[in-house]
Amino acid sequence: MKELRVGIIGYGFMGRTHSNAFRRVNNFFDLEYQPVLKAVCARDAGKAKRFAETWGYQSVETDWRKLIGRDDIDLIDIASPNNTHAEIAIAAAKAGKMILCEKPLALNGPEAEKMVAAVQKAKIPNMVWYNYRRVPAVTMAKQLIDEGRLGRIFHYRAKFLQDWTISADLPQGGTALWRLDAKVAGSGVTGDLLAHCIDTAMWLNGSIDTVTAMTETFIKERKHNLTGKMEKVTIDDASAFLARFSNGSLATFESTRYARGHKALYTLEINGEHASIAWDLHDLHRLQYFDHRDEGKLRGWRSIHVTDSDQPYMKNWWVPGLQIGYEHTFVHQVADFIQGLQDGQMASPTFKDGLATDYVTDAVLASAKSKQWVKVKKVK
CB of 104 to ligand NAD, least distance (A): 6
- Give the x/- contact pattern for ligand NAD in 163-202, rule: CB under 6 A: -------------x---------------x----------
**Residue in 113, 30, 35 with CA at minimum distance from that of residue 75:** 35
Please report which residue ranges of 123-194 form alpha helices under DSSP H. 136-146, 182-185, 189
- Give the per-residue contact string, 117-146, with ligand NAD (x = CB under 6 A; - = no): ------------x-x---------------
Rounded least distance, CB 329 to ligand NAD, Å: 8
C-alpha closest to that of 233 among 183, 193, 190: 183
**10, 125, 312, 354: which one contacts ligand NAD (CB under 6 A)?**
10
Per CB under 6 A, does 264 bind ligand NAD?
A: no
Q: Which stretch binds ligand NAD (CB under 6 A): 23-31, 41-49, 158-166, 356-364?
A: 41-49
* Residue 81 or 188 having the CB closest to ligand NAD: 81
Which residues are bridge partners to 378 per DSSP? none
Please give the residues from 269 up to 328 whose contact with ligand NAD meets the rule CB under 6 A: none
Contact track, ligand NAD, 339-358, x by CB under 6 A: --------------------
The dihedral sign for the CA sequence 89, 94, 95, 96 = positive
Q: Shortest approach of ligand NAD to residue 143 CB, angstroms?
A: 22
Considering only residues 67 to 86 of the shown chain, the ones binding ligand NAD according to CB under 6 A are 79-82, 84
Rg (CA), the chain: 21
φ, ψ (nearest 5 deg) of residue 122: -80, -10
Told to check if 43 binds ligand NAD by CB under 6 A, we report yes
What contacts 24+ positions apart, CB below 8 Å, involve 45-52? 47/11, 48/11, 51/11, 51/15
Least Å distance, CB 175 to ligand NAD, is 6
- Rounded distance, CA 34 to CA 165, Å? 40
**What are the strands of the beta sheet with 98-101, ordered from one edge?**
59-61, 33-41, 2-9, 75-78, 98-101, 126-128
Closer by beta carbon to ligand NAD, 68 or else 144? 68
Cα separation, 61 vs 39, whole angstroms? 7
Interacting residues with ligand NAD (CB under 6 A): 9-15, 41-43, 64, 79-82, 84, 102-103, 129, 131, 176, 192
